[in-house]
Amino acid sequence: MKKTLFQRIIDREVPARIEHEDERCIVIHDIQPQAPAHLLIIPKKPIPRVDEAADADEALLGHLLIVARDVARKLGFENGYRIVINNGPDACESVPHLHLHMLAKRQMGWPPG
């Protein structure tokens, strides 16, 4: 199976601006930001999308949210931030490797999309 872009970043085959890394995930700055601050929280385990996450992935998925919280605090997103997970083609999923988008430093519109 061909590696996704994110797996290649995790394996250091493709450079990225890394904000955080631990044994379970990596946080990088998006190269096509949709907000003044746009980071991607990516599990190192290659789960294609939320629909394909197993019950056994519950702790990992929770870890991604805690890391998002910690990175937001570190970067000073005190006015708020948005977390987005795209799942499938109708949601504009572009890389088949589960990841969270963290968008901040601007007012978000509602409803999204």
Residue of 86, 43, 75 lying closest to 61 (CA atoms): 43
Rounded to a whole number of angstroms, the distance between the first and last alpha carbons of the chain is 32
102 contacts 72 by C-beta, under 8 angstroms: yes
Query: What's the domain count of the chain?
Result: 1
pLDDT in tens, 56-94: 999 999 999 999 999 999 999 999 999 999 998 888 888
Looking at per-residue pLDDT, the higher value among 94 and 31 belongs to 31
The reply to whether 21 falls in a domain is yes
Domain CATH number, residue 32: 3.30.428.10
Q: For residue 2, name the pLDDT band (cuts at 50, 70, 90).
A: confident
Domain of residue 43 covers 5-104
Q: Cα-Cα-Cα-Cα dihedral of 66, 70, 76, 81, to 10°?
A: -10
- pTM of the entire structure? 0.94
* Any domain includes 53: yes
Select from 34, 54, 53 the least CA-distant residue to 101.
34
Give me the pLDDT at residue 113, please.
Answer: 67
Question: What pLDDT is attached to residue 105?
Answer: 96
Can you read off the two tokens belonging to residue 87? 């799942």
Considering the domain boundaries, does residue 62 fall inside one?
Answer: yes
Q: What is the pLDDT of residue 1?
A: 65
Whether the pLDDT of residue 4 is over 70: the answer is yes
Query: Of the candidates 81, 103, 85, 104, which has an alpha carbon nearest to the alpha carbon of residue 95?
Result: 85
Active site residues: 99
Would 30 be classed as within a structural domain? yes
Yes or no: say if 49 and 88 are a contact pair by the CB < 8 Å rule.
yes
